[in-house]
Amino acid sequence: MKGKIMFVGERIKNQRIELGISQTQLAKKAKLTPAAISQFEAGSRKPSFDAISKLASALGVSTDYLLGNHNDNISDEYTEMIRNIMGFSEENKKLMFELYEFVKKRDTKK
């Protein structure tokens, strides 16, 4: 959907579908009601910041992504990689960060 302006509800729905989960499953994961998820996705209700935070966590994306504050200069490939990393276990996130630090140090030595 590059170049298309998406609203919060569309981003929620697209990410939910990408994860292959239902509105009810997302609601349970985010500790919200299925009705709220339906209303957010339809655009008939705007989520509070607390709801945005819960949804971002449940969907494995940043609040910035849901709010449309992501950097359009970042390629879709890198955005997808970051989304996937956010869904990793805490142990694997730490491992990815350690790998990043290693590569960063190695790159600066060149």
Alpha helices in the chain (DSSP H): 8-19, 23-30, 34-42, 49-59, 63-67, 76-86, 90-108
Q: What is the pLDDT of residues 87-105, one digit of tens each?
A: 889 999 899 989 988 998 8
* Banded pLDDT at 24 (limits 50, 70, 90): very high
Cα–Cα distance between 59 and 74 in angstroms, integer? 20
Is the entire prediction scored with pTM above 0.95? no
Q: What is the pLDDT of residues 35-75, one digit of tens each?
A: 999 999 999 999 999 999 999 999 988 888 888 876 555 56
The pLDDT score that the predictor gives to residue 68 is: 82
List the end-to-end C-alpha distance of the chain, in Å, as a whole number. Answer: 38
What are the chain's domains? Answer: 8-108 (1.10.260.40)
